[in-house]
Chains A and B, each alone.
Chain A
């Protein structure tokens, strides 16, 4: 038992830190530090910088560009990236479709897609949810009918994040309407330029364009874009869900928000002193820091225990990571809201994206705080809502 990183791990952390310091373009760092949203270009630029260094997909197998790092190293890498603060590599690519292709794709699919996925030459979006199939994903109805060497896809997806940026979608479709819900689903890769595919934007409550509806009207998908076996798509989707574990708590991102809140609170005059000096503010922040520290140690336990577990077996402690992690991300955005106070209330989209040409209303950093708070409410909804997380823990872990 030893809480400290080994000298090698510390050396690794310094190396990662130095690289992020030198390689992250100043304009992107500036946006990220202000809490502004990185543009599509920023995300692509950064992922390509990482890829050039060989660090875009370190958790993949070495033959596909991975780094064979230990779980601790992967953890340090993600943590440092969030603290930098740098944009996250596109999760749909590096944590979702990539690992599924590696596990279940054909050799040809891997050779074609994986390098482009890693380099973000292909931007993938996730076509799972439908109007009638959210938490109950297995009830999805978008259909794919085999016709010669094509699938003909009809139906609708919803809440598809960044579909408007995407070149490709990994999509769950029903290929066997007669089978039990989970058994008739297949996993298809669909070119977003396909005729018959249309996208309608849905504005999110922060006033921005993040997700979309995607409609399929007789969209022809080459059968070679089926991943794995027909009607086994559910298994691959589940594999995905089990795949993304470390980093899911986003401890680094919460830390970064809290550090920022403390720094900014020192600039807000309250009475004779500053907000940062008021007892109530300090105690509130301290209370979050305590929970964040506990979560960080829990996460490190999971990371450290990973070497003792067979591949694919999930540490029971890991199930609390998403639950607590999202609660703390939300708590951190609330603290920033309190710091900004009324300054957060001007709606100024350009100052959220860093594209404004006019002076901000109030301090520049305050323009991003409310959108961040609003949008972060989604973290307990997507990726398996917190209610569903609790159901799963109760059932699988507690046997209830």
Chain B
């Protein structure tokens, strides 16, 4: 049997309860169980996490950097989605 490279996994760590999982980095592992164990050893040696997700890198669909401006354009010309767009008379409170 040849040892072709183990698949790549992306690691997400929840640093403490109440926060969402954040991307920490990636690693190679033969399966999900070992990916989790390796992730623990690699990314939480100093209590950096209370929960870990591992996701096969191949399972991620990403937007293309080439299209990043047109792709996000629909949001760019809608300043009225921000509260600062609106003029409120001085002195009005709790708004």
Say if A and B assemble together. Answer: no
**A residues neighboring B (CB under 8 Å):** none
